[in-house]
Structures are given as structure tokens and as C-alpha cells.
Copies of this chain bind each other. A is one copy, B any other.
Amino acid sequence: MNNLVSIKSATLSEDLAQQLSNAIVKGEIAQGSKISEPELAKQYGVSRGPLREAIVKLEGLGLVTRTANIGARVIQLNTQDMLDTFSMREALEGMAARLAASSMARHEIEGLYALLDKHQAYLDDNQDEHYVQQGGNDDFHLRIIHASGNTKLIRLLTEELYAVIRMYRRHTADQRSDPRQALREHRAILDAIANHEGDLAELLMRRHISRASHLLKQAMEHTALASQ
């Protein structure tokens, strides 16, 4: 009874937080379900101490909500929270694009153009099937965020908010969106950054995210995912 895939970090608590985060994002732990400490502890073969620390971390990531003396519960995705989250993304990633426009190095920009070409080639070869962004270095948005150079912004977007955002991406019919349109928008944003047009880069990024938000909303309402 050992689900530990052993990512083998320095501490059990960190490992657990990572594993649990992934399990929640993937849906292996159902939305809205209660987190049973004894059960999970047995399942992962650890004591409740580090498990509780991991749960506190998850609460900070917004993946679970905790109530004193009652316990933790996995969040339940719903349209309103998604819209709220994406409004924040709009503001934050807009700022990231603005900053990137004024500080991004030439070779970084080249690298991003190469990435977009790669995405383009993928779409051409796979009849517009959605490119699976496994959260790695192939994610255009992550690259822009890192290029901002703002460490606080990077931490917030890539560590604290990213899990929830991935959850929305994954659990909704993201396929509804038009990948070619998204790619065009990415290219326009990158052009603005390459030209050091911060205002324009911010504007385009905000529109891009706003549009994704609208699409997600429609998808959620159709799939009745957010129906509680």
C-alpha cells in the first residue's frame, strides 16, 4: 500500500505536497472530497505529521480549504472562481508581458520564436490537435513570465497559482478553443515584446487571457462541470 512514486525530495512533507498537488490537479482525488488524514497517511505510508504540513501547503496553494476541527476538503471548480482567477491572471501576466518587453534578451526572444515555430509544426502535423502543455518549458506563458525578471511575480504565477490554473485547463473542454488562433495571438504578443512595445504587449496578453477565459466559461457551462 505504497503510492509513493518516490520523487525523493529532501523531506517527506515536500514530496507529499507535490504528490497530492498532482493528484488533485489530475482529478485522482475528487473535487469536493474530504481529505482523511488517517487514510492518506496509511496510503502514502507516512505519519500524520508531515502529511499535515503538506496539507497546510496545499491550503496556501488554494487547492484545499481547511476548517478547524473538521478537516480539509478539495476545492470545487466553478465558473465564478475561474473568472476571478483569470482576472488575476490577466492583470499579472499582462504585467509580465510588459516587463518582458523591456528586459528580455535577444537570444531569449529568438528561443521563443523557435518555440512558436515548433508549435506551428505540431499543428500542421497533427490536424490542429491541441498541443499538450505538460507545464514544462514548452509553455509559452511560463516563458514570458520567467522573462519578466520579477522574482515575486514568477513565484506567484508559477508556484502559487499555477496548480489551480492547470486544474482549470485540464478539467474543462479546453479542446474547444482554436489552437491556431491562440498561436496567432502568441505570435502577436511576442512581436510586441521583440519591438520593446510594453504597452502593446500588455494589452495583447490581457486580451489573449480574457479570450481564453470566455472560452473556458462557455466550455464549463456546456459540460456542466460547475454545476453544484
Contact = CB atoms under 8 A, between A and B. Distances in A.
A12 B195 CA distance: 54
A90 to B, nearest CB: 7
Categorize the interface residue count of chain A.
Answer: 20 to 34
A174 to B, nearest CB: 20
Contacts of A90: 95
A156 interface: yes
Contact of A99 (B9, B68, B87): B87
Interface string A136-179: 00000000000000111101100010000000000000000000
B14 A68 contact: yes
A153 B87 contact: yes
A154 to B, nearest CB: 9
A10 B69 contact: yes
A10 to B, nearest CB: 4
Nearest to A154: B84
A38 interface: no
A120 to B, nearest CB: 30
Interface stretch (A23-31, A49-57, A106-114): A49-57
Interface in A178-224: none
Residues of A contacting B: mostly = helix
Given A56-B53, A91-B95, A84 B152 contact: yes
A18 to B, nearest CB: 13
Contact of A91 (B11, B14, B49, B94): B94
Given A52-B53, A53-B52, A57-B60, A87 B150 contact: yes
Interface of A: 9-11, 13-14, 49, 52-53, 56-57, 60, 62, 68-69, 81, 84-85, 87-88, 90-92, 94-95, 99, 150-153, 155-156, 160
Given A11-B69, A62-B152, A87-B150, 8 more contacts: A10-B69, A14-B68, A49-B49, A56-B56, A56-B57, A56-B60, A60-B60, A84-B153
Q: Rank and list the top 6 A-B pairs by shortest CB-CB distance, nearest first.
A: A60-B60, A10-B68, A91-B95, A84-B152, A91-B91, A84-B150
